[in-house]
Each structure stands twice: as structure tokens, then as C-alpha cells.
């Protein structure tokens, strides 16, 4: 994109929404997002509130790519999608899975603060009981130390895991966990998420042999095109995931997954199912474990229904202005 829209243009096109969650996810009970409409369609700016402006800036660049440039050509018309089970009690797993419909893969959140490994084991065991043939992966969001991750994954591996996403936070820790699991003969691959999107050098995790695959999110990496470039340079398989977006944000993830030359794993793009609302009447929720590629038609009525209150709208517009300044002229 040669010239970015001005803050005046962005403020005029911006709408802020607050959508209640069906279940608490990463401590979030209402998901807030700023949507902006450009000549190519709608973009979504929704970095979590605790992120500083520098970390939020790539998210804005991704939203501007969607709204002012559009997405690269797709090589597939639909993408496979996994269900996502938050850190709920095992007794609630079935009701969470029911919202996703038929799926062939499930990601389960583990290592939640305030919970125990016994909680994780019970949750994962219940998913496996309900879906004995599904691909199963766990996501710790860097919540373990190395000394905790290896024994935890050794036990969780008994349920047949495809991979473990970000078991520890630091890249050297990821590498240590990966090598120790190999030494013990535990067949769990290591996937890097935060170690890609939160690093100033997103390729370091690949150079240091710290992961078997990458979990890629379009928004935190600055848009679909930059994410594609990172995957190409890393030379590792990629799973495309979302950041708890509305269907507008999910459409960017779908565009990324659709443009990847290879897509060996089902993607984490079904999280709209965890919300009690959306900004479109045709929500991007999986149909038989798949999402179709295409643009989202945003509803003015739903923008009004889920409009954030004036204080939160001002907070997002102020954040938009500060973040736009960080992007400069291009």
C-alpha cells in the first residue's frame, strides 16, 4: 500500500462494537473491536486492550490492507477449521463443541491461570471421549515453565495430540521442550504462536529450530501479505488462527489460509461461535468443519445493536489516532 488513509478519513469510517462472549475466553467477557470501511471492503482493528500502541500498530496495518488494498488471490475456495474449547470445566465441553457443528480437529486451551494440570487433563480427555477420531491440539499461551511443560505434555500426549501450541513463552524454552520431548520419544510437535507474532524478529523461532510449525495470525503480523512472506521465509508448515475477531477479522484469516501454497492443518478460525453476536447476518462459522472464502457483508443494524458505549468508543478512536501516527505516511 503506497499511501495510507489519513486519521481524518479513518475516524469518519470507523465503528466500534462490543460483543458479549458465550464463555470467558482469555479473561474476555465482551470482545471490543474497531471496524473501518475502505474502498476494498471492511477491515478490523482489535488488538487486546492491554497491548501498547507499538504492538497494536501492525493490527492497524492489517485492517488497512483489508479495507484499502484487499487480499491476494486464493488458491482454494474453502479452508478447514478446528473447534476451540476454552479453559472450561470438563462438564461444559460438550456444550461448547455443539456450537461448532461437525469438525475434524479441536484446539483445547490449557495452562489457564488458577487452574491445575488435572483440570487440563479432564478437559482434553472429555474432548477425546466425545470426538475419538478428531485431530487434537492444545494451546498453553506460554503458561508453563519448561519444567512444567514436559511432564504435562507427556501426560496429555496419551490422548493423541497433533501438536502443542506455545507451551512456554521464551524461544529458548520452546527449543528445550521440543528437544526433551524428542529425547523421551513423546510424539508431540511444538507450534509457535506468541514467539512469532510478539517477537521483533518473527523468523527467529525457525532459525533456532525451536518449533515444528508456526501458528500465524494475519492481524498481529501486519496483514495477509506480510504473514505469507513470513511463512515463506520460515520454511515451516503453518496453521492460520484468529485473535477472537468478528467475522470481518476472521475473513482476513480465511484469506490468508486460502492463499497459502500448502495448508496441512485445520485452522483456528471458528471463534465467532464463541460470541453471542456478530457484525454480519452471515457469520463466518464453520459448515461441516469448513469456511468459505469471500467478503463479509456488514450489517448497519448489527453495528448499531452492538455499538460500544461512548467512553469505550472514544478510547478506541484515541487509540486509532495514536497508532495511525506510528505508521507514518506508508
d(CA 59, CA 64): 9
Helix 247-259 with 224-234: angle, nearest 10 deg: 40
**CA dist 130 to 50, 101, 110, 125, 173, Å?**
36, 13, 18, 9, 33
Asked whether residue 245 is marked as a ligand-binding residue, the answer is no
How far is 185 from 182, CA to CA, in rounded Å? 5
Annotated ligand binding at 311? The verdict is no
Residue 107 annotated in active site: no
Active site residue 109: yes
- What dihedral angle (degrees, nearest 10) is formed by the CA atoms of 283, 285, 288, 290? 100
Rounded (10°) angle between helices 117-130 and 146-156: 30
Query: Binding residue per annotation — 318?
Result: no
Nearest to 216 by CA among 262, 151, 176, 168: 262
Strand-pair partners of 107: 84, 137
Catalytically active residues, by annotation: 109, 217
- Binding site: residue ranges? 139, 165, 193
Amino acid at each position: 500500500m503506497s499511501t495510507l488513509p489519513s486519521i481524518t478519513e479513518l475516524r469518519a469510517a470507523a465503528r466500534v462494537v462490543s460483543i458479549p462472549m458465550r464463555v470467558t475466553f482469555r479473561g474476555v467477557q465482551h470482545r471490543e473491536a474497531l471496524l473501518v470501511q475502505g474502498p476494498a471492503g471492511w477491515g478490523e482493528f482489535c488488538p487486546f486492550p492491554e497491548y501498547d500502541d507499538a504492538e497494536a500498530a501492525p493490527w492497524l496495518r492489517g485492517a488497512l490492507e483489508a479495507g484499502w488494498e484487499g487480499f491476494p488471490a486464493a488458491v482454494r475456495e474453502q479452508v478447514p477449521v478446528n473447534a476451540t474449547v476454552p479453559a472450561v470445566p470438563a462438564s461444559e465441553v460438550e456444550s461448547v463443541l455443539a456450537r461448532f457443528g461437525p469438525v475434524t480437529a479441536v484446539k483445547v486451551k490449557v495452562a489457564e491461570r488458577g487452574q491445575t494440570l488435572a483440570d487440563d487433563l479432564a478437559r482434553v480427555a472429555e474432548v477425546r471421549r466425545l470426538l475419538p477420531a478428531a485431530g487434537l491440539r492444545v494451546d498453553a499461551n506460554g503458561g508453563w515453565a519448561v519444567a512444567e511443560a514436559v511432564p504435562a505434555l507427556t501426560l496429555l500426549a496419551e490422548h493423541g495430540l497433533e501438536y502443542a501450541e506455545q507451551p512456554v513463552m521464551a524461544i529458548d524454552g520452546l527449543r528445550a521442550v521440543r528437544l526433551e520431548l524428542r529425547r523421551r520419544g513423546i510424539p508431540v510437535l511444538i507450534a509457535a504462536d506468541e514467539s512469532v507474532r510478539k517477537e521483533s524478529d518473527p523468523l527467529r523461532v525457525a532459525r533456532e529450530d525451536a518449533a515444528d510449525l508456526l501458528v500465524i495470525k494475519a492481524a498481529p503480523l501486519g496483514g495477509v501479505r506480510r504473514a505469507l512472506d513470513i511463512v515463506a521465509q520460515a520454511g515451516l508448515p503453518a496453521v492460520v488462527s484468529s485473535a477472537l475477531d468478528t467475522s470481518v477479522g476472521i475473513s482476513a484469516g480465511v484469506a490468508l489460509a486460502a492463499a497459502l501454497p500448502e495448508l496441512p492443518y485445520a485452522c483456528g478460525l471458528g471463534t465467532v461461535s464463541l460470541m453471542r453476536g456478530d457484525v454480519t447476518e452471515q457469520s463466518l462459522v464453520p459448515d461441516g468443519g469448513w469456511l468459505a472464502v469471500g467478503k463479509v457483508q456488514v450489517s448497519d443494524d448489527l453495528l448499531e445493536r452492538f455499538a460500544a458505549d461512548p467512553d469505550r468508543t472514544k478510547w478506541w478512536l484515541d487509540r486509532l489516532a495514536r497508532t495511525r501516527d506510528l505508521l507514518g505516511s506508508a
